[in-house]
Structure 1
Amino acid sequence: METKPYTLPASFIDLLIDAVFAVDVDGRVLFASAACERIFGYTPQEMLGRVMFDMMVPQDRERTRQSVQQVMAGQPQLNFENRYIRKDGQIAYIMWSTRWSPPDQVRIGIARDVTQRKRAESKQAVLYAISEATSTAEDLPTLFQNIHQIIGTLLAVDNFTVALYDQESNKLSFPYHIDTMSETCIPVSALCEEVILNGQPLLLTSENMQDYLTEQQITVHNVPLCWLGVPLKSQNGTIGVLICKSYPGGTHYNEQDQELLQFVSTQIATAIERQQMQTRLQYMAQYDQLTTLPNRALLYDRLNVALLKARRERSHLSLLFLDLDKFKQVNDTLGHHVGDRLLQEVARRLKQCLRESDTVARVGGDEFVILLQPIPLPEHAALVKEKIRDALRPPISIDKHSLSIVPSIGIAHYPDHGDNEEQLLKYADQAMYAEKHGRPPQTLTAELGLTP
């Protein structure tokens, strides 16, 4: 039996689950099938004349332009994926199959909505990415930047903030804040405090934003279209809030977006706590806990770098070795708590005497080392020495005790008094003891085996 050919009516295209588009060389829609309304929220009539790039998530535009160039060069694209902002402001993930029609000078594309699949895939990918970011980030700012980029694979987050809550001080800080409208006056702290207090997400949309602000008696300019805050919870409680904002013309966040952010928030909280712990451990390894000055290990690192630079540039640097005369008597007669506060005040005054490029470190009980680099002439170190004496001359008042501190200070110059860390520190230390006991520093040159 002969099969009769069947001509498919053009209206049958509207029965397809996928949407069919025809766009011109500028990306302007010339034809859209009925399915576009289900996928994009716009009727076919509303789509006509629209530029597809204007509907696209900004982060996907450049990649899509490159794909379009390949299609127009005669290379059909199959299963190309990008994201669009629907009429209701939601993000739709689209998989395209596209080819170019040279006679008609149009691109023909079939769009399939893969939002649900992409969201499921993205959630798992995000968990893995956060875990990897935790292990590779060198510090908290880098971690926050990485988290912003990772969250951006789930949601449109041009405006993103990380707020951290310190339970001991009961204070909020905002170590990471990206906002495209810097003039926004919405009280972020108040909203974060509500999220932290209730331990629940807060989603403000175009439907409830103004009512909320009115209820809270808040008047602001540049009111966001949406504000989404999700608590960062860990075993130690709520440690902060993740915040996403969008302005008119941007993304409309909904409860599904809130669930996505909640899904990853616990792992983000764990990542932040882990990085905070690493930062604290690194700080403890490099800084003196009492005075917050660099310790001996960090001083050696900085001195090593300074010496490498000085050798390369044939420049000078100086070390000042300082200790406090009769400090032991303060501890013995007034107690260690007074001695500790005295050291803290000495550290504060020493820092005020130095430049940003200099380093003052606590290397022992009442011993401090100051690295001056670069220094034009050795004579300048003597000026710093006198500046320090002047800074320590005024009495220090602690618990109604007026304490007068006299320092002994030895100086070593590179390259005159040594070519490495050990030689310079030894010379400065001996020079300090020589001053303390009234010996002329010139005798050190022979004692330490240095050529005058």
Structure 2
Amino acid sequence: MTIDFKALYPKLIHLLLDTVFVVDEFGQIVFVSDACQPLLGYSADEMIGTRILDYIHPDDLERTLAAANSVMSGKSHTDFRNRYLHKDGSVVHILWSARWSEEERLRIAVARDVTALRQADQTRNALYRISEAAHAAETLRALCDGVREVIGELFPESDLYLAFHDAEKGVLSIPDWSANQENDWTEKPKDAGTAIAEVIRTGQACMASRDPAHQGMGLITPPKPEDADWLGVPLISPDAVLGALVIESPLPGIRYREADRELLQFVATQLATVVERKRAEERLRFMAHHDALTGLTNRSLFYDRLETALRSATRNEGRLALLYLDLNGFKKINDTKGHETGDQMLIEMARRLEGCTRETDTVARMGGDEFTVLLTDVHGRASIETAVAKFRELMSLPMNLEGKAFHVSCSIGTALYPEDGATARELLSKADANMYLSKRHTS
């Protein structure tokens, strides 16, 4: 049996899963196999006679032209990768094998769709990067910064919003990346009717439209599938929806597809697990350095802060003050009114002390009804006397606890660096002695 191979070749070419392109020296497509339709969404008839460059992703146009010129100069390519635009607007990643036929003056190339392979690589890399960020980050905010880099590489043309939901307050806590400062957060209300609120309410991913007036929130009105320029996926723990991970298009023309949703959901699933672990670590770290009742700095962390402040003051020839405070008559109130009332009184005292100090100062509970305040960058005894008078005035205000008004006072002892001591031990001893001296004068 004689086989007509010339007649068979076209049929074989159209059976190939990879797409065969033949392009003339002017960049016009003169032949394309039937595999072009599943690859780019266009039929062969639609593509023949058009320019191959019309289908290339704009960001890859320059280097694709350089590769084409290289092929036409006689250098074959077997591993060139670039991006093309599908008929539906999505991006297709293609691996090319191409050579130049000088006799026919034609560029012959075979195109393989490697989009799924690239997505698998991205997914694996994202998992590794998130794990790496989780190990490196000491705080939740630092973890968010690491995740931002990962998402930025996966979706370089999109804006990212990462929101954590506080169910009790009904607000969203969002890292404030506009300030580019560590630990900056912004709180926004979780407005009903927004796409992000729907993601958190349902625990389901949502493709929606971007709301130009409210960045990251999204419009709940569903767009046509091909017009989605907002994509949000939930951060889900075993017990609740922690928040949402959102990307949106800042520019026209960028649209999200099902593959984008799957990739972002994968990242969100890994992130939710890491967030739960990071929150648990932060709670343990907080408990180790803070008083369980009042939330104030505890004795051990206060000593560390005092030592650090002393070293800084020594280097910079600065001054600092240490205040030791004790509630007068607290034991009697605790014994007669109950420990719950006593605990509420200590909590109220802690909040008042925090309310009249700066962020650079440190308030600590040393134990029982004894508190210390470390004041940095002070300007002599006159300024300390003013601060003490302010503390006394604030503490003299009635405390409304369980429907009853309690009037309490406190004894305060002070010590000033460097006049009253050069070490933490000397300053604490001096402030403690002055506190008991004050207590005797008021008793």
Q: Which amino acid aligns with 2:19?
A: I
- Of the structure 1 ranges 13-22 and 320-329, higher mean CA displacement relative to structure 2 is found in 13-22
For 1:403, which of 406, 409, 417 is the aligned residue?
406
**SS of corresponding position for 1:417:** coil
Whether 1:200 aligns to 2:199 is: no
> Where does residue 307 of structure 1 map in the other structure?
310
1:49 and 1:325, CA in 2 relative to 1: closer, same or farther beyond 3 A? Answer: same
**SS of corresponding position for 1:426:** helix
Shift of 1:331: 0.8
Whether 1:414 aligns to 2:406 is: no
Aligned pairs (5 A) from 1:364-403: 364-403=367-406
> Where does residue 121 of structure 2 map in the other structure?
121
Distance 1:292 1:196 in 2: 30
Aligned pairs (5 A) from 1:31-430: 34=32, 43=47, 47=51, 54-56=58-60, 79=79, 81=81, 86=86, 88-95=88-95, 113-156=113-156, 158-166=158-166, 169=168, 171-176=170-175, 190-204=194-208, 225-247=228-250, 249-430=252-433
Query: Do the aligned residues in 1 keep the contact of 2:28 with 2:50 (CA within 8 Å)?
Result: no
* Runs of 5+ consecutive residues of structure 2 not aligned to the other structure: 1-12, 100-107, 179-188, 211-218
**SS of corresponding position for 2:441:** coil
1:189 and 1:369, CA in 2 relative to 1: closer, same or farther beyond 3 A? Answer: farther
Q: Which amino acid aligns with 2:234?
A: P
Distance 1:41 1:201 in 2: 26
1:428 and 1:250, CA in 2 relative to 1: closer, same or farther beyond 3 A? Answer: farther
1:261 and 1:268, CA in 2 relative to 1: closer, same or farther beyond 3 A? Answer: same
> Where does residue 443 of structure 1 map in the other structure?
none
Q: How many residues align?
A: 390
Q: Which amino acid aligns with 1:302?
A: R
Q: Which amino acid aligns with 2:365?
A: R
Distance 1:264 1:366 in 2: 48
TM-score normalised by the chain length of structure 1: 0.72
Shift of 1:250: 3.9
1:400 and 1:264, CA in 2 relative to 1: closer, same or farther beyond 3 A? Answer: closer
- Of the structure 1 ranges 344-353 and 305-314, higher mean CA displacement relative to structure 2 is found in 344-353
Write out per-residue CA displacement over residues 301-346 of structure 1, whole angstroms, 9 at most, x where no aligned residue. Answer: 2212211111101111110111111111111111122112222222
TM-score normalised by the chain length of structure 2: 0.73
> Where does residue 438 of structure 1 map in the other structure?
441
**SS of corresponding position for 2:343:** helix
Distance 1:202 1:383 in 2: 57
RMSD: 4.3
1:438 and 1:275, CA in 2 relative to 1: closer, same or farther beyond 3 A? Answer: same
Distance 2:222 2:437 in 1: 69
Distance 1:113 1:330 in 2: 78
Distance 2:319 2:206 in 1: 58
1:248 and 1:376, CA in 2 relative to 1: closer, same or farther beyond 3 A? Answer: closer
Shift of 1:18: 6.1
1:338 and 1:308, CA in 2 relative to 1: closer, same or farther beyond 3 A? Answer: same
* Runs of 5+ consecutive residues of structure 1 not aligned to the other structure: 1-12, 24-28, 100-107, 180-184, 207-214, 440-452
Query: Do the aligned residues in 1 keep the contact of 2:166 with 2:173 (CA within 8 Å)?
Result: no
Write out per-residue CA displacement over residues 52-103 of structure 1, whole angstroms, 9 at most, x where no aligned residue. Answer: 673459xxx9xx79x99xx9xx99997465656555332333446899xxxx
**SS of corresponding position for 1:236:** coil
Distance 1:109 1:317 in 2: 76
1:306 and 1:80, CA in 2 relative to 1: closer, same or farther beyond 3 A? Answer: farther
Write out per-residue CA displacement over residues 17-40 of structure 1, whole angstroms, 9 at most, x where no aligned residue. Answer: 3668899xxxxx956675888756
